Amino acid sequence: MIEISVIAPLFRAKYIAWLAFEGLALQEGIDFDWELIIAEEQQTEEVFGEEEVMRFKERLEAIRCKKIEYIPLQIHISLGSKLNRLYQACDENSKLIFQASADQFSAKQRLSTLYALYEKYPEADYYVPKAGIVYDLLSDRAIVRDPEINIAKSDVAGTASKTSFLKKAGPLLGGVRRQLDTATWKAYGRVKGSAPVVARDTSDMWKYGLNTDGLNNISNRTVVFDAFDTLPKPLIAVTPDVVNLNETIPEHVMNFLKERKDYIHLHKKMFNPLPIHRKDDPR
């Protein structure tokens, strides 16, 4: 029986989505069944594609991934609509939904830690790490995000929520294109009728995964942290005393990120926004 649904909303992810699927394929300690569902627009040249996803199939099945579903989207839809499509596709027995964004590398025990947290605090709605790393590829700098400062924007790598409520909240996200974390939090609360209950993972697992920025760069920003030295809370600079990426992130993953960074510098055209006709899926 499926216990956790992992969803991956992809867009222009050809050069980065390997990161997300490699993180999933390296998961350890899984003693439950789970599923992986991907949705991706097909009308750009930067499609990651079903064939690339299926290259991970054997490794994922070896760690009890019981279903891999790839949903090709023939029109561009808002991220809120895409998330709703993914929520509704999740197995009816699923207890938690974990979002694996294209530019997110999950710590190797992220799924097992989330499931253990759910078993310990079944009354909670959101399961959130105590911190999260965001790494800017182009400037080669990182920050630590503290979700406790603003729990409604809990976009740290490794957050999961109750499947039953997200399925009900999904239709409320239809036209939302930005700040999905906050919108989802509010929609979840509307469906539940009260503020979501948060359970925090107090382990140091957050140090072994990260979000990145700078590859599937839809907003045309070339350096995310221009004011890095004066970042306000909840953003604080990463120092070796906090976490050393070279020690916590696998070497082959750091090498991949370095290669992608070099690719970006050689192909500045990646930062030209695509003239996509936006049309929400009527469903």
The torsion region of residue 2 among left (phi > 0), alpha (psi -120 to 50) and beta comes to beta
Burial 116-144 (b: 16+ CB within 10 A, else e): bbbeeeeebbbbbbbbbbbbbbbbebbbb
* pLDDT at residue number 116: 96
* pLDDT at residue number 180: 78
Q: How far apart are CA 175 and CA 171, in angstroms?
A: 9
Q: Are 104 and 196 in contact (CB under 8 A)?
A: no
Per-residue pLDDT, averaged over 226-247, amounts to 62
* Helix, strand, coil percentages in the chain from 3-state DSSP, rounded to 5: 35, 20, 45
Chain centroid to Cα 240, Å, comes to 25
> 199: pLDDT confidence band, cut at 50, 70 and 90?
very high
pLDDT digits (tens, 9 = 90+) for 4-57: 999 999 988 888 899 999 999 999 999 999 999 999 999 888 899 999 999 999
For the beta carbon of residue 270, count every other beta carbon within 10 angstroms.
18
More confident residue, 248 or 221: 248
* pLDDT at residue number 1: 96
Q: Residue 231 pLDDT more than 70?
A: no
* pLDDT at residue number 147: 66
Is the domain spanning 2-271 CATH 3.40.50.1240? The answer is: no
For the beta carbon of residue 198, count every other beta carbon within 10 angstroms.
17
Least confident of 5-19, 159-173, 175-189, 219-233: 219-233
Q: Residue 213 pLDDT more than 80?
A: no
What is the pTM for the complete model shown?
A: 0.87
Q: How many CA atoms lie within 13 A of 271 on its CB side?
A: 15
The pairing of beta strand 235-237 with beta strand 65-73: unpaired
Q: Residue 282 pLDDT more than 60?
A: no
Name the DSSP letter for residue 17: T
Q: Residue 93 pLDDT more than 70?
A: yes
Per-residue pLDDT, averaged over 220-227, amounts to 43
Beta strands in the chain (DSSP E): 2-10, 33-41, 65-73, 96-99, 104-105, 126-129, 132-136, 141-145, 160-162, 198-201, 210-213, 235-237
Domain boundaries, the chain: 2-271
Least confident of 144-148, 173-177, 272-276: 272-276
Termini Cα distance of the chain: 28
- Percent of the chain at pLDDT > 70 equals 78
* Mean pLDDT value across the chain: 83
Q: How far apart are CA 181 and CA 167, in angstroms?
A: 15
Per-residue pLDDT, averaged over 171-184, amounts to 82
Q: How far apart are CA 109 and CA 34, in angstroms?
A: 14
Q: Residue 176 pLDDT more than 70?
A: yes
pLDDT digits (tens, 9 = 90+) for 115-166: 999 999 999 999 988 888 888 777 777 878 776 655 545 556 678 999 999 9
